[in-house]
Structure formats: structure tokens, C-alpha cells
Amino acid sequence: MSSIKEKIDKTRLPKHIAIIMDGNGRWAIEQGYDRIFGHQNGVTSVRETTEAAAEIGIEYLTLYAFSTENWSRPQQEVDALMELLIDTIENETPTLNKNNVRLMAIGDLSRLPGNAAEKLQRCIAVTSENTGLALVLALSYSSRWEITNAMKQICTEVQEGKYTIEDITDELISGHLTTKSIPDPDLMIRTSGEERISNFLLWQIAYTELYFTQTHWPAFRKDNFYQAIYEFQQRERRFGK
Ligand code: IPE
Ligand code: IPE
Ligand code: MG
């Protein structure tokens, strides 16, 4: 029996896959637990997906872990998520190094609690020389925050005479986003059935293939990830041509 992984054409892999990891709360409630339990189990899915991406040879994997709007959740849930972030980064750093994974982060990291930001920067620093998969965590991220920031920066640079209005191009804008060194996603996956983008990478997904699955994030495993890649490969991308 051939597995879904074997059906993937390794010569036509998406370079960058972005995931909206949704449904932790619903997954937990369905089983009679509290939402936090869902977040805790979501860590296993992060580990599995990162491993799957590294194994098959994906270059960039971006995970939407916490949105700007998620700061408005009950304080107890926000605290639990931040704690989970700190513990996970701490525990997983050796594995990231072992698997040649480089950690990156996008978002308004200044809003993270001090110890979370510190652990994150440390993990980014100690994995920075790795040459395999780039794992990008979107933390306190929202696309409108990012675009607003880029606009402010560009306006300042125009005022300072670094650019003229005519210099403002597609590329210049891309170069002022937090994703400036990262290619646009080829594939975006959202788990748990909602078919919306929730303020994630709005500029970058202009021609990204969208893939929605009913599977809740804590139940998402390697084969779910490979299935998404396989279905991506059945599509024809025309880029308006
Ligand atoms: C995704 O799961 C995790 C975060 C947004 C931090 P949710 O917490 O959104 O779970 P649901 O969507 O309410 O089930
Ligand atoms: C999107 O999920 C954000 C993350 C996965 C981090 P949400 O659960 O916050 O989005 P909505 O509220 O369903 O749009
Ligand atoms: Mg949700």
C-alpha cells in the first residue's frame, strides 16, 4: 500500500507553507476538557508538522501561533498560551538544532512578556546557522499591523529623502514587511473548518493556494500535512496568465 507521502512529487514541492493552526479549543471541549488542554496538545501537532516539513524538504513553514486579536482572549488563556510558548521553545531547541531547523519569528514581539521574548530570541540565535527548514512563528502577528507598520516606515523614509514616491513599488512594500527575507507562501492551510484568513499574511497570499480541512489542529498529523501537499500538486496555478 503506497502512503500519501510517496504520492508527492518531490520535484514540485511548495517552497513555503503557511498554517493557520485553528480548533484547539473545540477539539478539547468535544472531549470534555478545557480549552487549555487543546493548546497543550497542539504542541504535538507543531512538532509532527515541523518534522514532516523537514523530512520532505520544505524550505519555509510559517505557523500562525498567536494573533494580535488573540490578546483580547481571557487573561487566563493568554497566560497559558505564553507559558506554553516559553516551555515549548525551551524544550524543543535541541531537537531543532538536531534537525538543522532555523527558527524565525514575525509579529509585534515587543508585546510578548519579557521572558517569552528572551527565550524566543535565544532560540533564534542558537539555531541561526542551521541550513534546513526555516520555521517561522507568527506571534502577536496580524497582517494589518504589519502593513500599517510598513506604511509608516516607508513614509518616514520618503520624508528623509531616502525614496521618492515613484520608488514605491510592489517589491519595496514587500521589503518593508516582517516577512521581507521570506518568499510568499505557495500553500496556506487552515485547520478546523473555518474558511477565513483571520488577518494572516494578507499581502503575501495574493497567489497562494488555500487549503481548508475539517481536522482540528491537535489532531493534525504528518499524513494530514502530506495530504495537503498532494492536493496542492493537483492544482493548476495560473498567476493571472
Ligand atoms: C487555535 O485554536 C489556537 C490559537 C488561536 C491560539 P483556538 O484557540 O482558536 O481554538 P478554537 O478555534 O476556539 O476551537
Ligand atoms: C486565527 O485563529 C489565529 C491563530 C490561529 C493564531 P482564531 O481562532 O483566532 O481566528 P477566528 O477568531 O476564528 O477568526
Ligand atoms: Mg480559533
* Global pTM value: 0.98
* Cell triple for 81: 498560551
Phi, psi for 16 (deg, rounded to 5): -135, 125
| pLDDT for 91 beyond 70 | yes
Average pLDDT over residues 78-90: 98
Distance 22 CA to ligand 3 centre (A): 5
Residue 1 has pLDDT above 70, yes or no: no
Tell which one of 21, 22, 24 to mutate to probe ligand 2, the residue whose CB is within 8 A of the most ligand atoms: 22
Q: Say how many C-beta atoms besides its own lie within 10 A of residue 100's C-beta.
A: 13
Encode pLDDT of 5-53 as tens digits. Answer: 999 999 999 999 999 999 999 999 999 999 999 999 999 999 999 999 9
Indicate if 22 belongs to the active site. yes
Q: Domains of the chain (ranges plus CATH)?
A: 14-142+185-232 (3.40.1180.10)
pLDDT digits (tens, 9 = 90+) for 143-198: 999 999 999 999 999 999 999 999 999 999 999 999 999 999 999 999 999 999 99
Q: Report the half-sphere exposure of 226 (CA within 13 A, side-chain side).
A: 19
Res 67 pLDDT > 70: yes
Q: Is the CB of 198 under 6 A from ligand 2?
A: yes
Q: What is the 176 CA–ligand 2 centroid distance (Å)?
A: 25
| Number of neighbours of residue 90 by Cβ within 10 angstroms | 12
Q: Which of 9, 24, 70, 99 is catalytic?
A: 70
pLDDT in tens, 109-119: 999 999 999 99
Percent of the chain at pLDDT exceeding 90: 99
Comparing CA positions, the residue from 90, 102, 8 lying closest to residue 50 is: 102
Q: Are 105 and 135 a contacting pair, CB within 8 Å?
A: no
C-alpha span between 239 and 241 (Å, rounded): 6
